[in-house]
């Protein structure tokens, strides 16, 4: 009888691992257990499903269970792995409300993802209050809005999901209030840098309340009617809770599989845990930060897919008695999002993080243009970089603008992975044409200014 691989979790990391295992060693039997009703879908598209920009949930499904079966992967939906017993190489699985059964494995991949950080006031069961853990949650929120019975929405959280949902719900015609507990917003950036985004929210009638504490919910006939703050109540027919996520590590902890200081499952650069035969990947693991070398969690789509593929390749190689060349080099936390007309992107460290990591940070900012000054349609591009004073090494950047943001942050990510100084970034030959930017790209400009002030240019 051939060897069996069990994958726990059917989202990005789990399905990437399963697919790579089958490609690298077709002799392995692969079973994926997913506790939800869907697997292999584009979770990042959920806000756009809710806004109506994506027509239907089927558009977000990469492949169905039948498609994976044709590839030799058994996908078991609505199957919850309730325990892992590494000593016996067994997982205990429950299908729906059925009995628990034991399934033996030779190799195991934990791809349990992340779970929302739920405030204490969410423990009270009130209808029309939702997190966005997965596709089913997104479909539920869309159905609620489609019913035409909600007019006022409150979003708790001013991070990535909170801002994307503010746009989505506004586009559906709802009156939207966004509540944050500090002046920090998307990617932990301060309000001063994000002022153009704040203005765009205000221009569309979205109320932004910062430095606020939510103390509870008010309900009527079992449905939410208001969000309660320390000094007021905000009427609401729908509440979206977007207060962050944390690695889902309960299974690992209960099985005695090591969890790092960051809160994620401890893995090597081959995505292998300390327990023989057990790998882990995706939002549930801790990884190396490319700038600091510290162990961090990085709930990002590409990171989840990539770590899943690397875990799968190394597992398959181990089953064949060899080593894979695939290793995870690190994460810079590179991310981009859109809020109405603006894009916001970041990579690497901000000033506070750089100082905490032992660097001597210097911050440089520049307002430039997205196109040549004489070419019509150009808009402002705001760039902020963090540089180590001692070495002139680029440590991180944030970019805000209406166009050209994603490509520029990708240059930053490449620079971070190659430990480049601002002088070296300034020396890069970046593409130029009037519709795409000025001769001196905004990133080149700000790095040139930094190099000049730090005495290297």
pLDDT tens digits, one per residue of 206-231 = 999 999 999 999 999 999 999 999 99
Helix axes 12-24, 301-319, angle to 10 degrees: 30
Strand pairing class (207-209; 175-179): parallel
Does residue 1 surpass a pLDDT of 70?
Answer: no
The Cβ of residue 376 has, within 10 Å, a number of other Cβ atoms equal to: 8
Beta strands in 143-191 (DSSP E): 152-156, 175-179
Q: How many helices (H) and strands (E) does the chain have?
A: 12, 25
Closest-CA residue to 348 (of 293, 397, 306, 387): 397
What is the pLDDT, as a whole number, of residue 457? Answer: 67
Closest-CA residue to 394 (of 453, 445, 348): 348
More confident residue, 97 or 340: 340
Does residue 173 surpass a pLDDT of 70?
Answer: yes
Q: How large is the average pLDDT for residues 136-163?
A: 96
Q: How far, in Å, CA of 206 to CA of 176, rounded?
A: 5
Q: How far, in Å, CA of 259 to CA of 252, rounded?
A: 8
Alpha helical stretches, state H, 320-430 = 351-356, 405-417, 422-426
Closest-CA residue to 141 (of 57, 50, 37, 242): 50
Query: What length is written for the chain?
Result: 457
- Residue 36 tokens, joined: 């939800």
If DSSP codes are grouped into helix, strand and coil, which group holds residue 256? coil
Q: How far, in Å, CA of 268 to CA of 99, rounded?
A: 35
pTM for the model stands at 0.95
Is the distance from CB of 76 to CB of 95 less than 8 angstroms? Answer: yes
What is the pLDDT, as a whole number, of residue 64? Answer: 75
- Residue 404 tokens, joined: 């050209």
What is the pLDDT, as a whole number, of residue 69? Answer: 84
Quote the percentage of the chain above a pLDDT of 90.
93
Report the chain's mean pLDDT, rounded to a whole number.
95
- Residues marked active site are found at 44
What is the pLDDT, as a whole number, of residue 123? Answer: 76
Q: What is the DSSP-derived secondary structure letter of residue 139?
A: H
Is the distance from CB of 304 to CB of 287 less than 8 angstroms? Answer: no
392-423 residue pLDDT tens:
999 999 999 999 999 999 999 999 999 999 99
Q: State the residue for tokens 């998307």.
A: 186
Of the listed ranges 65-79, 103-117, 225-239, 340-354, the one predicted with least confidence: 65-79
Is the distance from CB of 281 to CB of 269 less than 8 angstroms? Answer: no
- Give the helix/strand (H/E) hosting 449: helix 442-453
Domain architecture of the chain: domains with CATH: 4-40+59-114+246-319 (3.50.50.60), 118-243 (3.50.50.60), 341-453 (3.50.50.60)
Is the distance from CB of 16 to CB of 41 less than 8 angstroms? Answer: no
What is the pLDDT, as a whole number, of residue 227? Answer: 97
Query: Sheet containing 223-229: which strands, arranged edge to edge?
Result: 214-220, 223-229, 233-235
Q: How large is the average pLDDT for residues 2-7?
A: 94
More confident residue, 133 or 429: 429
31-66 residue pLDDT tens:
999 999 999 999 999 999 999 999 999 999 988 777
Is the distance from CB of 419 to CB of 453 less than 8 angstroms? Answer: no
Q: CA distances (Å), 176 to each of 127, 139, 211, 241, in order?
A: 18, 19, 17, 13
Q: CA distances (Å), 28 to each of 22, 86, 278, 416, in order?
A: 7, 19, 15, 38
Q: How far, in Å, CA of 86 to CA of 257, rounded?
A: 9
Q: What are the residues whose beta carbons fall under 8 Å from the beta carbon of 388, sequence distance 6 or more?
A: 354, 359, 360, 361, 362, 395
Does residue 328 surpass a pLDDT of 80?
Answer: yes
What is the pLDDT, as a whole number, of residue 165? Answer: 97
Residue 236 gets the label, from left (phi > 0), alpha (psi -120 to 50) or beta, of beta
């Amino acid at each position: 009888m051939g060897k069996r691989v069990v994958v726990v979790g059917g989202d990005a990391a789990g399905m990437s691992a399963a697919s790579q295992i089958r490609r690298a060693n077709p002799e392995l039997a692969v079973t994926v257990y997913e506790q939800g009703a869907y697997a292999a879908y584009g979770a990042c598209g959920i806000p756009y499903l809710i806004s109506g920009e994506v027509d239907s949930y089927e558009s977000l499904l990469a492949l169905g269970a039948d498609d994976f079966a044709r590839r030799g992967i058994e996908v078991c939906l609505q199957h919850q792995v309730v325990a892992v017993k590494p000593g016996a190489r067994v997982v205990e699985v429950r299908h729906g409300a059925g009995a628990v059964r034991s399934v033996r494995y030779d190799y195991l991949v934990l791809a349990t993802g992340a779970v929302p950080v739920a405030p204490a006031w969410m423990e009270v069961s009130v209808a029309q209050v939702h997190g966005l853990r997965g596709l089913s949650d997104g479909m539920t929120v869309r159905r609620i809005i489609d019913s035409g019975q909600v007019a006022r929405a409150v979003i708790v959280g001013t991070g990535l999901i909170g801002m994307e949902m503010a746009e989505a719900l506004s586009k559906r015609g709802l009156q939207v209030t966004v509540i944050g507990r500090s002046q920090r917003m998307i990617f932990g950036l301060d309000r001063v840098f994000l002022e153009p985004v704040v203005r765009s929210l205000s221009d569309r009638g979205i109320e932004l309340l910062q430095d606020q504490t939510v103390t509870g919910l008010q309900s009527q006939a079992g449905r939410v009617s208001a969000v309660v703050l320390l000094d007021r109540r905000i009427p609401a027919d729908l509440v979206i809770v977007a207060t962050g996520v944390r690695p889902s590590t309960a299974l690992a902890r209960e099985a005695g599989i090591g969890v790092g200081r960051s809160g994620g499952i401890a893995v090597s650069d081959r995505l292998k845990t300390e327990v023989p035969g057990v790998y882990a990947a995706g939002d549930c693991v801790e990884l190396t930060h490319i700038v600091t070398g510290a162990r961090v969690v990085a709930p990002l789509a590409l990171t989840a897919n990539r770590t899943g593929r690397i875990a799968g390749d190394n597992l398959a190689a181990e089953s064949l008695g060899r080593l894979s060349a695939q290793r995870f080099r690190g994460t810079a936390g590179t991310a981009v999002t859109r809020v109405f007309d603006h894009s916001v992107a970041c990579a690497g460290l901000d000033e506070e993080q750089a100082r905490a990591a032992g660097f001597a940070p210097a911050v440089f900012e520049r307002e430039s243009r997205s196109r040549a000054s004489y070419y019509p349609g150009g808009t402002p591009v705001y760039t902020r970089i963090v540089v180590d004073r001692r070495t002139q090494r680029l440590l991180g950047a944030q970019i805000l603008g209406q166009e050209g943001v994603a490509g520029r942050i990708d240059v930053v990510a490449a620079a971070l992975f190659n430990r480049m100084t601002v002088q070296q970034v300034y020396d890069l030959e970046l593409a130029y044409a009037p519709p795409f930017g000025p001769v001196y790209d905004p990133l080149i400009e700000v790095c040139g200014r930094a190099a000049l002030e730090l005495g290297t240019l």
